[in-house]
Homo-oligomer: A and B are copies of this chain.
Amino acid sequence: MLGNCIENVRKSVPLVHNITNYVTVNDVANVLLACGGSPIMSDEPEDVKEITSICQGLNINIGTLNKRTIEGMFAAGARANELGHVTLLDPVGAGASGLRTNTAVELMEKVRFDVIRGNISEVKTLAQGSGTTKGVDADVADAVTEENLEEGIAFAKAFAKKAGCIVAITGAIDLVSDGASCYIIRNGRPEMGKITGTGCQLSGMMTAFLAANPEQKLEAAAAAVCTMGLAGEIGWGYMQKGDGNATYRNRIIDAIYNMDKETLEKGAKYEIR
């Protein structure tokens, strides 16, 4: 089933509008191309409405945000909502600064997102809300492990229900929930944490997966997570003596480029609760 999701990306070649940080933007673009989508980047408030109009999905990533690009995020989000496009929020660094936290919280309030994807710390920050809004109970640990898995699942479901969207919490174990059920995904390798932007890359790719699979968004989000993690495993298999994180970065994108339905079906490690 998950395999169909990537096949649909390759068939429909969704154009994804990214307002994303300048640190990892090139990798986001190449990962979108690798998985079968097509990227376009634009963050100027005057430019984003028209650009997002010709796309099928919008990926908002708040890393290296500034006041001008924040304005662009709200403008693009509003337009994408009007057009019923797929929307994703990657709250990079929420919790690390007031500007990031407030921007992410306000985006959640004013833009309807199909998915929020972040690490547990960022997602907890959003779950706690802006202070005025009462958030969900985010008294979960700072890493999802086999030991605290039930707690993590309960949190993911509760927040997804409250936020009214899919919540994807990525880490050593990934959780993807729409409030009703939760995918628990165990693909990936710890060395992926030594590459900048694997999370940003996943957010871009996930937007394409949802745009190409509008009837099965939860499954599409889970399929994107499995694709990224499995690519990390496959890419690692090509690593040779002397290779490090720079080569590994390329190997992962290469593995996404070569990913097909069968490989994904066979390699995806997940359960649903």
A binding-site residues for B, Cβ under 8 Å: 21-27, 29-30, 33-34, 39-44, 46-47, 50-51, 54, 63-68, 93, 96-100, 194-197, 234, 238, 242-247, 249-258
Expressed in whole angstroms, the Cα–Cα distance for A24 and B26 within the complex equals: 6
Name the contact of A41 in the complex, choosing from B43, B64, B251, B256 (C-beta under 8 A): B64
| Most chain B beta carbons < 10 A, residue from A43, A97, A256, A258 | A97
Bound Cα distance A249, B27 (Å) = 11
Q: Report the bound CA distance from A97 to B30 in whole Å.
A: 23
Most chain-B Cβ atoms within 10 A of its Cβ — which of A51, A63, A242? A242
Task: Determine if A54 and B99 form an interchain contact, defined as CB atoms under 8 angstroms apart.
Answer: no
Q: Which of B25, B93, B254 is in CB contact (< 8 Å) with A245?
A: B254
Q: Is the CB of A194 within 8 A of B29?
A: no
B-chain residues with CB within 8 Å of residue A65 when the two chains form the complex: 44, 47
> B residues within 8 A CB of A195?
30, 33
Task: Return A26 CB to nearest CB of chain B, in Å.
Answer: 6
Partner of A51, one of B39, B97, B246: B97
A127 to B: closest C-beta gap in Å: 20
Are B238 and A242 interface neighbours, CB within 8 A? Answer: yes
Q: Which residue, A40, A63, A243, A246, has most C-beta atoms of chain B within 10 A?
A: A246
Q: What is the minimal beta-carbon distance from A210 to any residue of chain B, in angstroms?
A: 21
A–B pairs, 7, beta carbons within 8 Å: A23-B29, A30-B245, A39-B196, A42-B64, A43-B64, A44-B65, A246-B250
Task: Determine which of B41, B63, B98 lies in contact with A63 in the assembled complex, contact meaning CB atoms within 8 Å.
Answer: B41
A162 CB to closest chain B CB (Å) equals 26
Say whether B67 contacts A46, CB under 8 Å. yes
Enumerate chain B residues within 8 angstroms of A245, measured Cβ to Cβ. Answer: 30, 33-34, 253-254, 257
